[in-house]
Structure formats: structure tokens, C-alpha cells
């Protein structure tokens, strides 16, 4: 009968013991989640803490700034093969209470627990464990942490691309994005679209004399969801996702809106060429 912990059995292919990390990734994840890294100051503060965490465990790191935010890398080992652990520190905005992590049985709750401070904490723990090995690591493991994965700002270059341009690359990449503990082999593409819809203004008491741009925009969005590309599927995805993410229109309660702008987040299938969309 095996004496391995059930969690070890799940990942041990040959039944050999797999030691748990001594770096306490749970406590690290909870600390990271206490930083509101949905804005620049929180990103910088959390990154500064993590750099100190690595230094305390004899893991050398370096960083550069992109648009005022730090992009971090740390490397352990030497050899002909490089494995990259890719993570991000930023999160989408949340309420104050979401930045107070709490445990419910075996589940960790709070902003970023799943996407992706939990995985980032594990990757940092991996680096600490590798640095503590008694023998030199025969391959190179490179941790990269970016600050802008969740950003929807239009930028000339994002941090991951900038890291690649600096030579922070490898032969195999493990990305910590949520996959429900399955191996993800594909990712959807992103196409952000802004639709400007015109109407005709009229007094709010006589809306039939005008054309409501907001209502027209809703009709345009509904039409978008019925286009052929939106009905296609693949081996891994049921269909593309189309999210009406932002809408701006109207300026007074007593006037029919004459202009409406909607922003749509389209996640298209890997097999769908973006130029066709």
C-alpha cells in the first residue's frame, strides 16, 4: 500500500514521493491577494514585496519598467533547455472586501485567488525550492511576471512582448492561467471592437420623432451575435465569446440619444483568421 499523500498520488506518475514545497505558497498567495493590484500603486507595492521575498530565499531577479510598471524575471539553473513560468500580478478591480482573502475548507477565496495570484505564488515557491536544491539544476527555469495582463488600454507593446524582445524566452512555457487543472493547449484570440452608432435627437416627450441611438446600438449588437463566425465551433471550444463590455450614450433624461458608442470584447477561435472577422 502506498504511503504517499493523496495529493502526491495524483501527480506522481511512478509512485515515487514528491515532496511538498517548503515555501508556504498558501501564505504567499494570501499576502499577494491583500494588495489591490488593479491599479499602478498596488502593482508596484506587491511587486516590491515579491522581489524581497525572492531575495530572502537567495533567488536572483531582475526587472525593467514598461509604462512605469515593473516587469520581473528570475532564473535558476543552467543547461541547454529553458522552461519559462509565466505569470501576472495585476487583477481586475474589485470591492475592498475582495482583497481580504479567506479560506473555506480547502478553497481560497478573494480577488486574484484563481486568476492568477494562486498560480503565481506556486511559481514563486517553485523557484525558492529549486534554489534550495543541494545540486545544480541541469536545466534553466525562468520565472516571468508581468503587470498588464488584465489591462484593456491601447498600448504599442505589452509586457510579455517586451520581455520576449529582451530575450526572456525559453523552449517550453507554462502559463498559470486558470484551466480547472486541465492542460490547456489552445487559447482564444482577442478582438476588441468599438461600434459608433448614430441616431436622431428629439425631445424626450416625443421620442417617436427621433431615432434612439442606444436602441439602435442594441440592435447592432444582437445582429453581431448572429453572424456566421459567432456560430462556429472547434474541438476545444463550443463557440467564440462575444461580450458587450462598455456602452456610452445619452446626455440628458429628456432627450433622445443621437449617438451611442459600444465596445465589444470578441474572443475568437484559434482556427478563425482575424482578417476574416
DSSP tag of 112: T
Q: What pLDDT score does 23 carry?
A: 64
Q: What pLDDT score does 262 carry?
A: 97
Q: How many domains does the chain have?
A: 2
Pinpoint the alpha helices (H) of 66-158: 118-131
| Under-70 pLDDT residues of the chain | 1-23
Please count the other Cβ atoms lying within 10 Å of the Cβ belonging to residue 92.
13
In this structure, the answer to whether residues 112 and 78 fall within a common structural domain is yes
All three cell numbers of 263, joined, read 465596445
In this structure, the answer to whether residues 60 and 125 fall within a common structural domain is yes
Quote the CA–CA distance of 122 and 252 in Å, as a whole number: 51
Which pTM does this prediction carry? Answer: 0.80
Quote the CA–CA distance of 244 and 45 in Å, as a whole number: 32
The secondary structure element, H or E, covering residue 8 is: helix 6-11
In this structure, the answer to whether residues 70 and 205 fall within a common structural domain is no
Give domain status of residue 32, yes or no. Answer: yes
Quote the CA–CA distance of 43 and 21 in Å, as a whole number: 26
Residue reference for cell 508556504: 24
All three cell numbers of 30, joined, read 494570501
Q: Is 275 helix (H, G, I), strand (E, B) or coil?
A: coil
Q: Is 143 helix (H, G, I), strand (E, B) or coil?
A: strand
User: Which range marks the domain in which residue 138 is found?
Assistant: 19-175
Tens digits of per-residue pLDDT, 111-132?
999 999 999 999 999 999 999 9
In this structure, the answer to whether residues 42 and 111 fall within a common structural domain is yes
Residue 170's CATH number: 3.40.630.10
Q: Which of 115, 148, 175 is the last residue of a domain?
A: 175
In this structure, the answer to whether residues 35 and 124 fall within a common structural domain is yes
Quote the CA–CA distance of 248 and 191 in Å, as a whole number: 19
In this structure, the answer to whether residues 161 and 78 fall within a common structural domain is yes
∠ CA 226-230-233, nearest 5°, is 135
∠ CA 16-19-25, nearest 5°, is 145
Quote the CA–CA distance of 159 and 68 in Å, as a whole number: 11
All three cell numbers of 63, joined, read 526587472
Quote the CA–CA distance of 73 and 75 in Å, as a whole number: 7
Give domain status of residue 5, yes or no. Answer: no
Please count the other Cβ atoms lying within 10 Å of the Cβ belonging to residue 85.
23
In this structure, the answer to whether residues 143 and 227 fall within a common structural domain is no
Pairing mode, strands 172-175 and 189-198: unpaired
Residue reference for cell 502559463: 175
Q: What pLDDT score does 217 carry?
A: 97
∠ CA 82-83-87, nearest 5°, is 135
Give domain status of residue 91, yes or no. Answer: yes
Residue 218's CATH number: 3.30.70.360
Quote the CA–CA distance of 74 and 114 in Å, as a whole number: 22
- For residues 269 and 263, is the Cβ–Cβ distance under 8 A? no
Amino acid at each position: 500500500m502506498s504511503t504517499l499523500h493523496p495529493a502526491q498520488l495524483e501527480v506522481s506518475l511512478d509512485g515515487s514521493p514528491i515532496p511538498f514545497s517548503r515555501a508556504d505558497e498558501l501564505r504567499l498567495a494570501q499576502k499577494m491577494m491583500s494588495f489591490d493590484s488593479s491599479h499602478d500603486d498596488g502593482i508596484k507595492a506587491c511587486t516590491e514585496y515579491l522581489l524581497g521575498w525572492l531575495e530572502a530565499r537567495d533567488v536572483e531577479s531582475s526587472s525593467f519598467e514598461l509604462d512605469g510598471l515593473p516587469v520581473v524575471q528570475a532564473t535558476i539553473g543552467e543547461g541547454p533547455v529553458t522552461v519559462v513560468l509565466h505569470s501576472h500580478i495585476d487583477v481586475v478591480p474589485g470591492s475592498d472586501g475582495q482583497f481580504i482573502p479567506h479560506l473555506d475548507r480547502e478553497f481560497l477565496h478573494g480577488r486574484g485567488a484563481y486568476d492568477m495570484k494562486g498560480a503565481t505564488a506556486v511559481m514563486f515557491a517553485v523557484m525558492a525550492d529549486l534554489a534550495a536544491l543541494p545540486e545544480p539544476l541541469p536545466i534553466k527555469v525562468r520565472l516571468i511576471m508581468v503587470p498588464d495582463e488584465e489591462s484593456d488600454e491601447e498600448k504599442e507593446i505589452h509586457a510579455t512582448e517586451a520581455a520576449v524582445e529582451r530575450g526572456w524566452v525559453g523552449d517550453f512555457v507554462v502559463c498559470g492561467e486558470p484551466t480547472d487543472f486541465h492542460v490547456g493547449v489552445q487559447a482564444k484570440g482577442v478582438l476588441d471592437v468599438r461600434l459608433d452608432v448614430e441616431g436622431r435627437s428629439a425631445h424626450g416627450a416625443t421620442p417617436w420623432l427621433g431615432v434612439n441611438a442606444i436602441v439602435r446600438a442594441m440592435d447592432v449588437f444582437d445582429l453581431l451575435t448572429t453572424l456566421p463566425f459567432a456560430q462556429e465551433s472547434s474541438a476545444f471550444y463550443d463557440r467564440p465569446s462575444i461580450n458587450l463590455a462598455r456602452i456610452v450614450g445619452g446626455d440628458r433624461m429628456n432627450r433622445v440619444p443621437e449617438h451611442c458608442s459600444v465596445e465589444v470584447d470578441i474572443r475568437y477561435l484559434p482556427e478563425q483568421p482575424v482578417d476574416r472577422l
